[in-house]
Structure formats: C-alpha cells, structure tokens
Structure 1
C-alpha cells in the first residue's frame, strides 16, 4: 500500500505544485488504484508516473471546488481512450454526477465503461472483505468530506519452511494446518496448526481529508491511523484568516494528528505563495506540535507499512 501525490497545491496550479490529486496504490492488495480528488491537470501528472488509468477503479471526491474536481471529466475520457473497460465508481458530495454527466454530454464523449455515482453521507460508504471506507462531514463552508480507509486484518502466514523441514509435503495437510486444525499424519505424528501459523497483523488505516477548518470530525476520522493526510493552507499565525476561508493552519493539522494518535502526518494543499524556505518553516511549525510530520511534494510516494509489534502494543496501551 502506497500513497502517491499527484498534486499538492492549493487553489490554482503552480509551476512547482499542481492542484490536488492523491492516488492510493493498492496494487499488491487488489491490483487497483483509488484516486482521491482530481484537480485540473491530474491526468497530465499521471503521465509522469507509472499509474495506468485503467487500474483506477474508484474515485473519491472530497468537495466540489474546482481545484479538487476540474480534472475529472478529462481523466474519465482518457481512461476510455486508453482501453479502460472496467466499471468506475465515483464517490462524492451530491452534485458530482451532474458535473460529470454535463461535461460528457456537452462534449459528446462516450465512455467504454459504466459509471456508478455514490452520493456520500457520514458513515460507511463502502465495504468488502479487504477494505472498509468511512466518511464524515468536515467544516469548509461547502459540503466537504474526509475519508477513512480501513484494511481488514491479515491472517498469520503458514510457516511452510518449518513444515518442509519436518518432511511434510505441500498438499491438503497444509490447508488444514493453515485453518488451525490438529492433524494426525500417517506416521502417527500429531501437529497443531496453531504451532505453524504466524501471528495475524492488524490492517492499516489511511485517512485522507478534504479542505476543512479544525474540527472534531477530523480527529474521529484519523483515530489511530497509520497515515493522516491533512491540508495545511495557512501558517500558524494566520489562524483568523484560516478560519475566515474555512481552512486549517499547520499547527491545527498537527493538533488533529496528535489528538487522533496517528503514526504519521502528511501535509498537503500548500499555497503557491510558499516557496522552499517558507515550506520548511511550515513543516517546522507542525513538527513542534507533532514530530512525525512531513510536507509532501508532487510525485512523492509514501509507503504505508504494517505497524511493528511495539507500535501495536503502544496503540493498545
């Protein structure tokens, strides 16, 4: 599981930062990519990565401001031209369907695959055996949502090398031991599956928020997340301006991460007025509140590892 940032800027595209687009790469988990927001130029950013549009199976839109939405019709069209035939699900606030279908109708664009639109509301919006996606409403003046992606726990792996060392060949016995059963071999030996299956691992949690003021909903969505992606549009001393424009400061984002007990905070939605030194200052402001903070740049790829045993114990303590 990896997060790739296709755009990390705020408001309008800049030379050094495109507007918002975030890819959750689930290639090992389900051979698919989930996209969060699709600002103008997102498909151009994708061309500079190894992402294949036909691998995108779900798109989650946080809110209907243009810097999070204007790239969507073009990406959908290109996906069709490039051989995409698998269905696409698009989640977002009410109005996403009207926007997309109007653009496709006016441009007389026909897609080679079906679209399914899901108007989101607080609660579980998607669930299968691998993942659950929960959303909640944020505070941005316009309907804006955050998404919490929860991976199912991973069962312990069968210790094949140990069994082979005991002279046991692959076959039905392996399956029974994997299920935790006790097996009596032909030579009379009795083996318990519990002795040959490793410990299960808790699934990972990734929270990706739309634009928002500081709000308790962000803390709920981020609770114990391995990674929290939070906007950081204003400096710490611009709190009143952040409130007026329904955005967050660096320190507020860090406070959310600290209260939620996340492992890592990734800051995005950076204003074009902040250049290299300014960005370092923003990062330091947040790190003063929550140490494991990083301001991401376009094309950064962040691995989401499983928690180490000591981290799991700490989270439970």
Structure 2
C-alpha cells in the first residue's frame, strides 16, 4: 500500500506545487487506485507517475472548493478516452454530482462508462469486507469531510512445520488454510486454519483529511492511523489567520497526530507563500511536538508497511 501526492499546495497552483490530490494504491490482489481530491491539473500530474487512469475506481472528494475538485471533470472525461474502462464510484458532499453533470451536459461531454455518486455522510460509506471507509465532517468554511480507510486483518503466515506434522499435502489445501478456511483431509481429520497459521496480521489505517481547523472529528478519524495526512496551510504563529480561513498550522496538525496516537504524520496543503526550502522549518515546527512528521511535495510517494 502506498500513497502518491499529486498536488500539495493550497488555494491555487504555483510553480512549485499543484493543488490538492493524492492517490492511494491498494496492494494485491486488488491493485485498485483510490483518488482523494482532484484539484486542477491532477490528470497532468498523473501522467508523471506509473498510475493509470483505468486503475482508479473510487474517488473521494473532501469538499467543493476549486483547489480540491476543479480537476475532476477533465479527469473523468479523459478516462472515457481509454475505452473499455470499468465503472467509477465518486464520494463527496452534496452538490458534487450536480456540478459535474451540469458541466458534462453544457459541454456535450460523453462518458462511456458508469459513474455512481455517493453523497458523503458521517459513518461508514464503503465496506467490501477487505476495506472499510469511514467519513466524518470537519470544520471548514463549507461542508468538508475527512476519510479513514481501514484494511481488514489478514490471516497469519502458514507454519510449515505444523503443516508437515499434520500431514497436509502441498497444494490447494495450503491456499485454503492461508485464506482462513478449515479443511478436511482425505483420512477424515479436520485441520483448523488457526492451528497452522500465526497470529492475524493487523490491517493498516490511512486517514486523509480535507481542509480543517482543529476539531474533534479530525482526531477521531486519525486514531491509531498508520498514516495521517493533515493540512498545514500555515506555519506556527499564524493560528489567528488559520482560524479565520478554516485551516490549520503545522503545530496544530502535529497536536492532532499526537492526540490521535498516529504512527506517522504527513503534512500537505501548504500556502503558496512558502518555498520548497521552507519545508525544513515547517517540519521542524511539527516535529517538536510529533517527531514522526514529514512534509509532502508533488510526486512524493509514501509506503505504508503492514505491522507484521
């Protein structure tokens, strides 16, 4: 599982940073890509990565400010040119479907695949047994959501010694046991998966927040997250400005990560007032409170290892 940042700037694109978007690549066997926000220019940034548009099958929009959504119609339109692409499901605040479909209608854009819209509400908005996504409202100038992606626990590794001792023949039965299924051998003996596998491998948690000032839901969504993506529009000392515009500072992002017990914080959504070299100072401010902090930049890829 890895997260690629396609845009890390706030408000408007700059020479150094595109506006907000990030792509979460899920591991095998899924290999799907989930997109979080699609600011202007997102599809251009995708062209600079190995990620293919036809692998994106779910898109999560945090809110309807242009720097988070103006790239969505173009991306969906380009996806239609690939031919043979599967359906896509888009989650986001009320009004998202109306905005996109109105633009398609007025521009005469034809989309040759199914688009399903799911209006984001607080609670579980997706669950296929392998991954669950929870949403919660944040505190910004317009309705805005954060998303918590929870990977289900996986069966532990097979114990070769125990398999040999039990007389399990190598082959398909191994796969069933690995998948957590109990089996019956030809001689009638039942072998329980739990008896020949190690402890379950905990699933990973990735929390991606939209624009927000400090709030309880941000901490709740980030609880024990392996990776927390939190906006840090302003440097420490600009808390009043952050409050005015519904944003957070580096210190406030770090405080949220600390309260949530997150494993790692990646800050993004930086004001265009900051140059790339300013990231060192911004990270230092946050690390004074939460040492496991990094600053995202366009094209950055963060691996999210399992806690094996």
Q: TM-score range by the shorter chain?
A: over 0.9
Runs of 4+ in 1 over 2 A off after TM superposition: 157-186, 188-196
Distance 1:29 1:4 in 2: 19
RMSD: 2.2
**Partner SS, residue 229 of structure 1:** strand
Segments of structure 2 that go 5 or more residues without pairing to the other structure are none
Structure 2 SS opposite 1:247: coil
The question of whether the paired residues in 1 share the 8 Å contact of 2:173 and 2:183 is answered with no
Distance in 2 of aligned mates of 1:189 and 1:131: 34
Counterpart for residue 142 of structure 2? 142
Cα distance between partner residues in 1 of 2:86 and 2:191: 45
In terms of mean alpha carbon deviation, does 143-152 or 274-283 score higher?
Answer: 274-283
- The SS at the match of 1:74 is helix
Structure 1, gaps ≥5 residues long: 309-317
The structure-2 alpha-carbon separation of the partners of 1:212 and 1:183, relative to structure 1 and needing over 3 Å to count, comes to same
How has the CA–CA distance of structure 1 residues 278 and 200 changed in structure 2, closer, same or farther, with 3 Å as cutoff? same
C-alpha contact 1:138 1:145 (8 A) present in aligned 2: yes
CA distance in 2 between counterparts of 1:39 and 1:120 reads 18
- Partner secondary structure for residue 126 of structure 2: strand
Equivalent residue, structure 1, for 2:219: 219
Q: How many residues align?
A: 307
Residue 82 of structure 1 pairs with residue 82 of structure 2: yes
- TM-score, normalised relative to structure 1: 0.90
Segment of structure 1 superposing worse, 275-284 or 164-173: 164-173
- Structure 1 residues 181 and 281, CA, compared in 2 at 3 Å: closer, same or farther? same
Check the 8 A contact 1:286/1:293 in 2, yes or no: yes
Q: CA deviation at 1:180?
A: 6.9
TM-score, reference length from structure 2? 0.93
Residue 58 of structure 2 is aligned to residue 58 of structure 1: yes
SS of the equivalent of 2:37 reads strand
Does the aligned pair in 1 maintain the 2:265–2:292 contact within 8 Å? yes
**Within 5 Å, which residues of 2 pair with 1:195-214?**
195-214=195-214
